[in-house]
């Protein structure tokens, strides 16, 4: 069950990327807010692909079950 609003989840995802411990590229390595937002959008896009694939597999199975009735 989802207990967060979409806005709360969006803020959480961006915050995760804002607070990543940096690899030691330099003393000035930092992820800026626009980059954190882009990373969060990539994560959401990938989740949506997986969810769509899972749902598609479900409906393909339903189709097969109907055919087999």
- Is residue 24 in some structural domain? yes
pLDDT of residue 10: 92
- Is residue 35 in some structural domain? yes
User: What is the model's pTM?
Assistant: 0.69
Please state, in angstroms and rounded to a whole number, the distance separating the CA atoms of residues 64 and 29: 53
What is the count of structural domains for the chain? 1
- Is residue 40 in some structural domain? yes
pLDDT of residue 59: 81
CA dihedral 35, 37, 39, 44 (to 10 degrees): -170
- Is residue 19 in some structural domain? yes
- Is residue 41 in some structural domain? yes
Residue numbers of the domain that contains 58: 6-68
**How would DSSP label each residue in 30-67?**
---HHHHHHHHHHHHHHHHHHHHHHHHHHHHHHHHHHH
pLDDT of residue 43: 92
Please state, in angstroms and rounded to a whole number, the distance separating the CA atoms of residues 65 and 57: 12
pLDDT of residue 28: 66
Per-residue pLDDT tens for 12-55?
999 888 887 665 556 666 778 898 899 999 999 999 999 888 88
- Is residue 1 in some structural domain? no
């Amino acid at each position: 069950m989802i207990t967060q609003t979409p806005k709360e989840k969006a803020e959480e995802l961006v915050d995760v990327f804002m607070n990543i411990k940096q690899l030691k590229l330099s003393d000035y390595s930092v992820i800026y807010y626009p980059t954190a937002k882009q990373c969060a959008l990539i994560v959401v896009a990938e989740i949506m692909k997986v969810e769509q694939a899972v749902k598609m597999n479900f409906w393909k199975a339903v189709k097969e079950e109907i055919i087999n009735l």
